[in-house]
Amino acid sequence: MASEVNAPDHSPHHPGITTRCPTTCLGVHTVGDMVALLSAAARMARPDITDPDDGQHDRHTEACPLSCLHLSVRVINALKYADTPPRTIGALLRMIRTDQLTEVRNIGRRSLAEVHQALTATGFDVRHTNLL
């Protein structure tokens, strides 16, 4: 186990963060914080897989297109064939709240987990849904 780190030297986002710092130096307090951090790191590591207008902005709203969630092609294709395909995050959230998402063909546990993670990473509270 790592040795204790001097707490006064460590605060969220302090300069000189190293691998010996506690996770709180990253500002990570919840699983949602960790998912958001990892998602941001993945986008920075692979800028070639996104285009400038595909959801790369700081604040996501229900009016944002589904591309802001960076869902897999498998999930996007399944959503295209829903009775009423969602085009925005808000429409997807309404499908979740009315249990329509679980009725979409080819949306199983893995897809539901992916949608849950994507919504959490973009700041939506989906704790009280039936996604998991």
- Per-residue pLDDT, 16: 76
Query: Do residues 71 and 114 both lie within one domain?
Result: yes
Q: For the chain, which residues score pLDDT lower than 70?
A: 1-8, 13, 40, 42-58, 131-132
Tally of structural domains, the chain: 2
Residue type, 113: A
Name the token pair of 2.
């790592």
pLDDT by residue (tens digit) across 68-87?
999 999 999 999 989 999 99
Contacts of 67 (CB under 8 A, 6+ apart): 54, 55
Range of the domain at 26: 9-49
- The sign one gets for the Cα dihedral 79, 81, 86, 92 is negative
Query: Do residues 62 and 112 both lie within one domain?
Result: yes
Say if 126 falls within a structural domain. Answer: no
- Per-residue pLDDT, 52: 41
- Per-residue pLDDT, 119: 92
- Per-residue pLDDT, 43: 62
- Tokens 């993945």 label which residue? 42
Give the CA distances from residue 42 to residues 35, 100, 126, 129, in Å, rounded to whole numbers and listed in that order. Answer: 10, 30, 22, 26
Query: Do residues 75 and 117 both lie within one domain?
Result: yes
Query: Do residues 17 and 74 both lie within one domain?
Result: no
DSSP 29-66: -SHHHHHHHHHHHHHHH-GGGS-TTSS-SS---TTSBG
- Per-residue pLDDT, 50: 43
